[in-house]
Chains A and B, each alone.
Chain A
Amino acid sequence: MTNGFLIVVALAGLVTLALKCAFIEGQHYFKLPQWFTDSLELVPPAVLCALVIPGIFQDDIGLVNAFGPVVIDPKPIAAGIAAITFFTTKKTIPTLIVGMASLYAVYWLQI
């Protein structure tokens, strides 16, 4: 077990639990103000898109660490192809499969 990891995960778990219990635990449930509800629906696209970017543009993939760098980073291209796949299929699993296959293809084509 890794202590640092467990501490971070335990704290993140507490934050999660606090939000999940916000109203179930608070006896005085009330209607949320409209502006809050309006803002809340925009949180997922904002946070998820902001989270995607470092994963696509930063750090080297395992392939690069194992077999060496290539001229064009395969990650953004693979992510683009995965995005097109999602828009055409609307399904997550094909998006993941095509994204990973594109990652391998773009890397190996440059070797």
Chain B
Amino acid sequence: MLPLLPGVVPFGLIAGFTPVSFGYTWIDSTMGSLLMFAGASQLATYQLMDEGASLWVILMTVAAINLRYVLYSASIAPYLANANRASRLLAGYGLTDQIFAICQRDYPTHDWNLNERMAYYGGGTLVLWLLWQLCTLAGALIGQVIPVFWSLEFMIPLTFLALALNTLRTNAHRVTALTGAGISFLGLELPYNLGLMLGSLLGMLAGLLYKRFSR
């Protein structure tokens, strides 16, 4: 778990101070982290709220960003299926890229019983959760004293940029990204953040078509 933790710190600080830089309080920011506990979608929610996006655009975007969790939970579910409902709900809330990476690596290679698997999952998640909450709280408190001209709100698109570029593993991913960005750019003036929605959908479509016809 330790090697995965340093990457959480700057992201947590950014997620913490962003709502504050948009004029919300540190309590709002902390509640955001507690209720969502999902970095990229927290940032997307804050950015879209600041742009005045409608609720359904925000929720659709959050759902799209978090779709990967369906895959994660599908791959981990067989190991946790017999746990009680409250534990499964807590495990769901605590699911992150990091804990998925670790459990996916270690569950199949260890002969653990359910309690041991839950303890492994819970321990890792608790460490990550505490670190995330502390970092977002620190970010929110720092955000209150940083003057507006520091322009730290620009860290959001920069963070998304780095996350996006990190996904460009194959040509299909590159086609998806270029189409998504291009359509989003052309649709900047469209109402209701349609540019964002169209960019995401047509980007995926372009990537799928590329995959299909490049075989």
- Check if B12 is an interface residue, CB within 8 A of chain A: no
Q: Tell whether, in the assembled complex, residue B49 and residue A11 are in contact, meaning their CB atoms are under 8 Å apart.
A: no
Pick the contact of A50: B74, B150, B151, B203 (CB < 8 A).
B203
Task: Please give the distance in Å from A25's CB to the nearest CB on chain B.
Answer: 6
Q: Does B1 contact A (CB under 8 A)?
A: no
Given A45-B173, A46-B204, A65-B148, is A16 in contact with B211 using a C-beta cutoff of 8 Å? no
CB within 8 Å of A: which residues of B?
7, 10-11, 19, 21, 24-25, 27-28, 31-32, 35-38, 40-41, 44-45, 47, 49-51, 55, 58-59, 61-74, 76-78, 80-81, 85, 88-89, 91-93, 95, 147-168, 172-174, 176-181, 183-185, 188, 193, 195-197, 199-201, 203-204, 207-208, 211
Report 6 cross-chain contacts, Cβ distance below 8 Å, ordered by A residue: A43-B67, A45-B177, A50-B195, A52-B161, A82-B161, A92-B163
Q: Which residues of A are interface residues toward B (Cβ below 8 A)?
A: 1-2, 5-6, 8-13, 15-17, 19-27, 29, 32, 37-59, 61-63, 65-67, 75, 78-79, 82-83, 86-87, 90, 92-93, 95-96, 99-100, 103-104
